Amino acid sequence: MNDVTFNLRTPIKHGTEEIGVLTVKAPTLKTIRKIGLPFRFGVVAGSEFEIDAERLARYLSELCALPPSTIDQISATDFVGLTQVFSGFFGQSPA
């Protein structure tokens, strides 16, 4: 899968720069080995997979080339939208 451009509903700040669009690089095996999978499969009864928010935040920092302090500003609504981007990267549909 190619890199994905994601329009934030709520912009975030990196220093003095306001960011309204994130470019999320497609993860590679190197990144998966470094961080682990951003989802846990078959963890909750009746659920195919569960989102690991901490790991997903680490992926966002790594793949968007932004520090964790900037990634932490992402709104809950945008974060849920970004889980769909990652579901696409890993060939899963959102829970």
**21-43 residue pLDDT tens:** 999 999 999 999 999 988 876 65
Q: How far apart are CA 77 and CA 16, in angstroms?
A: 23
Residue 16 φ then ψ, to 5° = -95, -5
- Dump pLDDT digits (tens) for 46-57: 666 678 899 999
